[in-house]
């Protein structure tokens, strides 16, 4: 069972990274992974729940030229360029309803700012990669 709350967009300032389409693709892939690991989804009394969170951060980095020759040139403006970097992390978890606790979690750096043509394949790859660390169930 997927956590329904995780389908709601949280990072509204980053619509290219976090949107309804991305979240629905993630939910579909997480459900497929849970089924592959022999966990039933969409049942009336599920034992496990899978969920995810997207963390998007933006940071500005200023590149400077600090080639100063004299002690009185310290205050000279030496900014060359300022660049904004956006980083995104996908955090996945599986919780046990009976124990009311998270029993597994993992995270992976990602970039969902993709075209619609490539996003589906990218999401499948990211979710597969994150579930590579999931414990094997016999």
SS3 for 65-110 is: CCCCCCHHHCCCCCEEEEEEEEEEEEEEEEEECCCCEEEEEEEEEE
Tokens 């499948």 correspond to 124
What is the spatial distance between Cα 38 and Cα 10, in angstroms, rounded to a whole number? 30
> pLDDT value at position 76?
56
pLDDT per position as a tens digit, 12-53 = 999 999 999 999 999 999 999 888 888 876 677 778 888 999
pLDDT per position as a tens digit, 50-87 = 899 999 999 988 877 766 555 655 555 677 788 888 89
Which of 103, 121, 123 is CA-nearest to residue 37? 103
What is the spatial distance between Cα 110 and Cα 128, in angstroms, rounded to a whole number? 13
> pLDDT value at position 2?
82
Q: Are strands 48-64 and 79-96 parallel, antiparallel or unpaired?
A: antiparallel
127 pLDDT exceeds 60? yes
pTM of the model: 0.80
């Amino acid at each position: 069972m997927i956590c329904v709350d995780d389908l709601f967009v949280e990072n509204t300032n980053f619509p290219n990274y976090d949107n309804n389409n991305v979240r629905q693709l993630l939910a579909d892939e997480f459900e497929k992974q849970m089924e592959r690991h022999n966990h039933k989804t969409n049942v009336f009394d599920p034992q496990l729940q899978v969920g995810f969170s997207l963390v998007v951060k933006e940071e500005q980095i200023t590149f400077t030229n600090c080639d100063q020759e004299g002690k009185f040139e310290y205050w000279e403006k030496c900014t060359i360029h300022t660049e904004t970097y956006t980083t995104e992390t996908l955090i996945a978890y599986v919780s046990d309803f009976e124990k009311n606790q998270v029993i597994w979690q993992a995270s992976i750096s990602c970039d969902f700012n993709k075209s619609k043509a490539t996003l589906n394949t990218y999401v499948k790859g990211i979710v597969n990669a994150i579930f590579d660390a999931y414990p094997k169930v016999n």
